[in-house]
Structure 1
């Protein structure tokens, strides 16, 4: 879609709150409106704020486990059968592809950086529907900043699927008139396919994908009396959105492991224990505080009335659905806010376009959120690589048999030492976190008994374990086992939260 200025209606001509120069500015904006320039700015900015963690394999507990699963898939393991986690498969396939490129950590971090820039570009394209080019580019930069602030400064799932969801939203919002007339442009069908592909990265994306599909279907069905052709168009949208998951389900059905797929991606999320109401309210309050500034700027920008109402309203509705989905989760972590980054940043664009304080608001958005970005905690980043190298060197020296058990983090040690995880439950919290007890479809106590019966020669134990409550049955087994180990050493590594103490027991069994 070519950049073009939003329409200026005759009723707006005499309104003092309408910035007529900003609305009519695309040609004068020059380079800022060109796609290549916007993407180059966004990619450079994303690389700048993310690069302090480049090559740091221990940066986040989730990302390094995704990388381990990718390695194991290349070694022949089957997801959910030989190595277990609960997200949908496409995320792990991305990490498997990164593992074929040499330095897996740098490969997935580089791809995540490109995806961050793509998400920023999609945000700018959305914002351009109701704001001038300069403000739209600011919205894209705000997206990249919010992505890092919300815990997406490395390789979380939403970093990869946000651009797909934004592409789906852009396809719908630029086709509102055609949908109201009962037509379904090919780009909307493609948008539904993109949104469905996002769900193949993480199930929670289904809320936004269903909203985009339902909104499109409603507009088509409301256009006139439904007939066979109209219903066929709506069915085509549904099929496009469902295709990625249908393909995954068909593959597992054909391989005889559909039950494992269902248990992992559906049942395990229903069986795990979630925080009590008090803890949940505390996390919700923290989330609201995080999104407070962009939310205020979005509302102030809308009050100026200098935007085309329909695209802005649709993006606002999408953002509301994304926020409601996050608040509806029984559990809440920082990175669960990542799907909010695109709609929030796009909605701020009209405020950024204000000639009085727009740039000040943009500067405040960047300053506040960059100040809190984990990648820019440079003191920790400088210490992280040497500490991680020392850990790998020591554990490798103490584990010539490669019989290793990681209990806590970092799970990627298995990949670095070319050690096969001793259980299908290779993500350590699935063994020690009390909230996971009974949710994995595997008996954690028996799994721990089998692991210790294999006599791992080295145990890497995080102190304290990051869980409350812990699974006492498995933790007590481990504590009894490490009493027989003939050597113990405490080492310190650094992740995105800072220092982490590890107790390495070796010459065990």
Structure 2
């Protein structure tokens, strides 16, 4: 029998009776537990999911009404540099040129091609249709909303596990860490930013066992960028831990239907080729190992620098929930896919990293948590300042080149810009002479690798035949060689070299780019 201690003299306990016998006078007893009737089912005790300790949280809309204005303010502040320049990187230029062609009646994967899924070109097209095609301001507003939506979902995931305070921390950390790379990677309204809401939504739905919606979110992530599909791995882990079963059918159906619909709306064969089977040369490794390794380490170091104040709490917190660790590992796999290691690839790591860091800070003393948040905010401010002040010579060159193209051509006249920066078409307001907007598809040249096999034999199969037909049927009025002596310049490409020699004459240079105008016949 357990020893029973008398109550304090100033607080005598009232005797509590049990069904069997009364408690002895002067002694306290635990509250009685009446056995339920035999006919009533015994309720199962609530047990938090593994890795999810119980935490108090306030229900209703009130916490979100307090949280949303703060997150919205931070989202606007961290993405303020994105409105500074007409373009931040070639992805924005590619999407803008694609969208203009689609808005004029073109069909994706037929009239204009890319190795990316269709969702983001359609978003750009919709923005151009509603607000005009001369500015990227509308899609940059959408990018702010995408980051805000991601932060809210991250906060909701953390709040469900560790309480309201951890939710606020996780949402804030996501926004602060998302600027912790080169501004051209974080401020562009491109694939990486719009990928994040769908990936977090997939985990959010799976965490609540909404399997059909989770599958649709996985499909949405894939339709923004192929590597978004890796979020399926932690979703499957949550499904398995929930007991598996027939819900897998709803998950699969939710993932398959949006992808099938996108293929049917475009060109099914073209969709399959350009998003999956035709990207082998891009995703395979070739080129200089030191160049690839240096790019990977520099971008990893930048993100680590932005996370400096969180590294020690993360190390002390131990292993996090299995689904978050798997999510972080799957995102790292997405970063490494193709061995390009562009900085914007690393943004996929931020949501799981923010959640794990929020868990670590939730377990740390309040002073440690406050200090880590202040330091992370100060580091984010440095990256934002970098974005506001850093020069962009590539953008300046594209603007000057576009001005010259407008002078030498009339509206509606087709031009061919042999470049890896297709924003010249959009800035000049001239339609491209080929469905291939960059030289990469025709040469295998890539900005993310150095020393790769480059040339006509390494092009995407069938592209040169199409290119010859396009330029023979309706030759471009102006041809711009913007390779500036690279290994993908016309002097290394017999077909393009012969086209220039046979039909064009020199018309000057702009910052090293050579211009040729069509000879009068």
> In structure 2, how many angstroms separate the alpha carbons of the residues matched to 1:469 and 1:332?
21
Secondary structure of 2:462's partner?
coil
Find the counterpart in structure 1 of residue 157 from structure 2: 126
Find the counterpart in structure 2 of residue 182 from structure 1: none
Alignment of 1:462 onto 2:482? yes
Find the counterpart in structure 2 of residue 219 from structure 1: 241
* CA distance 1:430–1:363, shift in 2 (3 Å): farther
CA displacement, residues 371-413 of structure 1 (integer Å, 9 cap, x when unaligned): 34586242527x9988766554432122126232222254233
> In structure 2, how many angstroms separate the alpha carbons of the residues matched to 1:172 and 1:319?
16
> In structure 2, how many angstroms separate the alpha carbons of the residues matched to 1:474 and 1:134?
64
Contact 2:177–2:306 under 8 Å retained in 1: no
Unaligned runs of 5+ residues in structure 2 are 1-45, 447-453
Match of 1:426 among 421, 437, 440: 437
- Give 1:80-229 correspondences, 5 Å limit: 80-104=109-133, 105-131=136-162, 133-150=164-181, 151-173=185-207, 175=208, 185=209, 187-209=210-232, 211-221=233-243
Contact 1:486–1:508 under 8 Å retained in 2: no
Find the counterpart in structure 2 of residue 451 from structure 1: 471
Alignment of 1:356 onto 2:367? yes
* CA distance 1:470–1:508, shift in 2 (3 Å): closer
> In structure 1, how many angstroms separate the alpha carbons of the residues matched to 2:369 and 2:502?
60
CA displacement, residues 219-274 of structure 1 (integer Å, 9 cap, x when unaligned): 2446xxxxxxx3x322111111222112223445xxxx432222111122213463
TM-fit CA distance, 1:338: 1.8
Between 1 and 2, higher relative CO (CA 8 Å, sep ≥ 6) is seen in 1
Q: What TM-score, normalized to structure 2?
A: 0.74
Find the counterpart in structure 1 of residue 93 from structure 2: 64
Secondary structure of 1:487's partner?
strand
Find the counterpart in structure 2 of residue 225 from structure 1: none
Match of 2:296 among 271, 279, 284: 284
Find the counterpart in structure 2 of residue 398 from structure 1: 408
* CA distance 1:149–1:427, shift in 2 (3 Å): farther
Alignment of 1:338 onto 2:334? no
Unaligned runs of 5+ residues in structure 1 are 1-6, 10-17, 176-184, 223-229, 491-500
> In structure 2, how many angstroms separate the alpha carbons of the residues matched to 1:188 and 1:248?
21
- Give 1:253-264 correspondences, 5 Å limit: 257-264=267-274
Alignment of 1:322 onto 2:353? no
Find the counterpart in structure 2 of residue 12 from structure 1: none
* CA distance 1:294–1:481, shift in 2 (3 Å): same
TM-fit CA distance, 1:324: 2.8
Secondary structure of 1:57's partner?
coil
CA displacement, residues 448-491 of structure 1 (integer Å, 9 cap, x when unaligned): 685388543333443546x666682169618955995453242x
Secondary structure of 2:391's partner?
helix
Find the counterpart in structure 1 of residue 493 from structure 2: 473
Contact 2:178–2:186 under 8 Å retained in 1: yes
Query: RMSD of the alignment, in Å?
Result: 3.9
Secondary structure of 2:515's partner?
strand
Contact 1:192–1:240 under 8 Å retained in 2: yes
Contact 2:479–2:515 under 8 Å retained in 1: yes
* CA distance 1:474–1:298, shift in 2 (3 Å): farther
* CA distance 1:405–1:368, shift in 2 (3 Å): same
Secondary structure of 1:154's partner?
coil
> In structure 2, how many angstroms separate the alpha carbons of the residues matched to 1:351 and 1:414?
48
Structure showing greater radius of gyration is 2
Contact 1:53–1:375 under 8 Å retained in 2: no
Find the counterpart in structure 2 of residue 51 from structure 1: 80
Contact 1:213–1:238 under 8 Å retained in 2: no
* CA distance 1:477–1:43, shift in 2 (3 Å): farther
